[in-house]
Every structure is written in structure tokens, then in C-alpha cells.
Amino acid sequence: MFPLQTTVISRHPPVVTWVLIGINALFFYFELHMPPDALERFTYLFGVVPARFTHPDWAMRVGFPIDEYWPFLTSMFLHGGWAHIIGNMWTLWLFGQHIEDRMGPFRYLTFYLLCGISSGVVHTWINAESTVPAIGASGAIAGVMGAYLVMFPTSRVIVMIPIFIFPLLFEFLAVFYLGYWFLLQLVSGTAARIAMPEAGGIAFWAHIGGFITGVLIFRPFLRSAGERRDPYSDEGSYEHAWMPYR
């Protein structure tokens, strides 16, 4: 299922969301122009390699810098391919603009980064023996999705499901769509741990950690009552524009 649109209306320009997308695109541009060997070293140095932090003796032997934790921040701005970055940035735009609207730019940026760092920590804890670098903004974006689930559970998410060559559109409540997404990460992450406990691949537990972090910490980052105004009757979602005014 590929999400296309939500029915929440934002009232402020999503400046930070656009900046985050731009920074990710800039880093990806540099990655595209790196020689393969340099890109591999770059990914290992600035991606989250769990064994680097859980086995410092091994990390020292292979040449990792010691006592540096920047990868928990830098890893969320690196991506492994076009599909990776396009999928992440589209999801960030789709859900992030509404969370930024309710938090304000600076609190939203802090929230986003905390979710991303937390996702890297959870990934490292669950996959402590892994020597494969984890990169991507999906852990931070999962935190945004977790906040969206709690804040807008009854909003609608329009998704496309391709059936053979025919793209079909469906509308789901956000609580069902995002709940299904989280359950899929949980099942896939558990299955991956059982089948390939030391392998790399998709960082499902980073997604899970980021999502849960977003659910748990979003509330203190919301705008105060004095900074908000009540929405007009047609601002809750698109379909309300056709409801009689009361």
C-alpha cells in the first residue's frame, strides 16, 4: 500500500519538513557522486553499525573512531538508493507537515531528531552483533507517524494498491493504516531476528523504536493553547467542506 494523501488540513507552512527533505536530497546527491569504495567507507563511518558500539575492542581493531556517537544523528540523513530516499521523503512530507503544524518548527525539529536517535539506539540494542551499517530517515519518520496516529486517528489516508497493472485507490482511517504498518514492522522484525539474528537488511526495529518513541514523547512538543486557534468547521478534513455550517 502506497499512501497518496491525508485529509488533515495544515495552517502553517511546513518549513522544517522542506528543509529536512532538502538536506536528505543534498546528502544523497553527494552519495551518488562518490566512488563505490569511498561510498562504502562513508556509509560504515556515518551509518549505525551496532557492533561498533557494543564491541569496542572489535571496533578499534577494524579502525572505527572510538567514543564517537555521531552516527546516531548522521545515519538518518543517508540513504541506500532512489527507492529508499523517495519513499522516505514522500512519507515525511505526507505526515510530517501536519505534525510540524501542530508543534511549530523548532519543537518539531527536536522531536524528529530525538525519534531518529532513539530508533538508532533501539536498532543497536536489538541487533548488537550486527556489523552492517543502518542508514535512512525511516526511524525518525516512524516517530512522526506514531505521533500522527495518536493525534489524528480518525483522519483518512488515501492509499494506492496496485492489482496487476491497475492502480486501485482506497481510503482507510489513519488508526487502521498506521496500526497495520506498525504491526507489519513488528512481525517482520521478530521474524528477521528469529531467522537471521546477525544479518543486515531492513532495520525493522529502528522503525519500531522510532514509532514507539513518537507515540510516547510527542505531547510536550505540541503548541500551547495560546499558540493555537480553533479550526474552522471545514478544516478538520476535506469532506467537512460539504457539511452544513452550524
Domain with 200 in it: what CATH number? 1.20.1540.10
What pLDDT, on a 0 to 100 scale, did the predictor assign at position 90?
Answer: 97
**Each residue's pLDDT tens digit, 216-239:** 999 999 988 656 555 544 445 444
Global pTM value:
0.88
Structural domains of the chain, count: 1
Tell me how far apart the alpha carbons of residues 205 and 208 are, in angstroms, rounded to a whole number. Answer: 5
Structural domain includes residue 228 = no
Asked whether 63 and 16 are in contact (CB, 8 A), the reply is no
**Each residue's pLDDT tens digit, 145-186:** 999 999 999 999 999 988 877 888 989 999 999 999 999 999
Enumerate the H helices of 33-132 as residue ranges.
36-46, 50-54, 56-62, 71-74, 82-103, 105-126
**Each residue's pLDDT tens digit, 47-74:** 999 999 999 999 999 889 888 899 999 9
What pLDDT, on a 0 to 100 scale, did the predictor assign at position 165?
Answer: 78
Asked whether 179 and 149 are in contact (CB, 8 A), the reply is yes
Which residue segment(s) compose the domain that 98 sits in?
2-222
What pLDDT, on a 0 to 100 scale, did the predictor assign at position 101?
Answer: 96
Structural domain includes residue 202 = yes
Structural domain includes residue 100 = yes
What pLDDT, on a 0 to 100 scale, did the predictor assign at position 201?
Answer: 61
184: Cβ–Cβ under 8 A, 6 or more apart, which residues?
A: none
Tell me how far apart the alpha carbons of residues 73 and 134 are, in angstroms, rounded to a whole number. Answer: 12
Structural domain includes residue 193 = yes
Structural domain includes residue 168 = yes
Phi, psi of 63 (to 5 degrees): 100, 15
- 193 pLDDT exceeds 90? no
Structural domain includes residue 148 = yes
Structural domain includes residue 139 = yes
Structural domain includes residue 235 = no
